[in-house]
Structure 1
Amino acid sequence: MSNAFDVIVWSKQGCSYCNEVKSYLDDKEIPYKTIDVTNRDEFREILEAKYGVRHVPVVEIGKNGTYKGVTEVGLEHLIAALEQVSRKKGLAV
């Protein structure tokens, strides 16, 4: 897949939901960056300021500093967001 958009996964060590998200992205060959919030309360404060949540995983999808945050737990939410962004860009996920 081309870099038509960026994906950032906010996660923590030992989080099964975070690992599920990363495995899905790996399987689909969607490149992503990881921000590890383990023992980093300041990162959780950023999530709270941006999206009103302190939990992970949070997946940001976007380009050039404009991101949509997927804060709901469950792959169906990530898949829907990726499909929405892909339709706008004319890509297949």
Structure 2
Amino acid sequence: MAKNISVVVWSKEGCSYCNEVKEYLAEQNIAYKTIDVTNHDELRDILETKYGVRYVPVVEIGEGNTYKAVTEVGLEHLKAALEPAHV
């Protein structure tokens, strides 16, 4: 069971890596919000400003007043980032 964390998945339509991330979060019973960058270059501009990337998936994990982003592709990076948030 995860602590009270906030998870945001930046994704786009047809992205198999994005779907893999969402499926993993659902399997772990971790609620998340999705920001769909499909046809929204202005949202990609935000990713570039915040993290220096324009690709997805990007997963933001927030706990309390701090948050981190997973910009690397691969579930192992997401799992490592979520581990400290689990009880």
User: TM-score category by the smaller chain?
Assistant: over 0.9
Structure 2 length-normalised TM: 0.92
Structure 1 length-normalised TM: 0.87
CA–CA distance in structure 2, aligned partners of residues 4 and 74 of structure 1: 24
Q: Which has the higher contact order (CA 8 A, sep 6+)?
A: 2
- Please name the residue that 1:6 is paired with: 6
- Please name the residue that 2:17 is paired with: 17
Q: Which runs of 5+ in 2 are unaligned?
A: none
- Please name the residue that 1:53 is paired with: 53
Q: Specify the code of the residue in structure 2 equivalent to 1:7.
A: V
Percent identical residues: 69
Q: Specify the code of the residue in structure 1 equivalent to 2:27.
A: D
CA–CA distance in structure 1, aligned partners of residues 35 and 61 of structure 2: 13
CA–CA distance in structure 1, aligned partners of residues 37 and 61 of structure 2: 18
Q: Which runs of 5+ in 1 are unaligned?
A: none
Aligned residues: CA RMSD: 1.4
Deviations 1:42-78 (A, max 9, x none): 0000000000000000000004563201000000000
How many Å apart are 1:3 and its aligned residue?
Answer: 5.7
CA–CA distance in structure 1, aligned partners of residues 12 and 64 of structure 2: 25
Matches within 5 A, 1:1-93: 1=1, 4-63=4-63, 66-86=66-86, 91=87
Q: Specify the code of the residue in structure 2 equivalent to 1:85.
A: A
SS of the residue corresponding to residue 72 of structure 1 reads coil
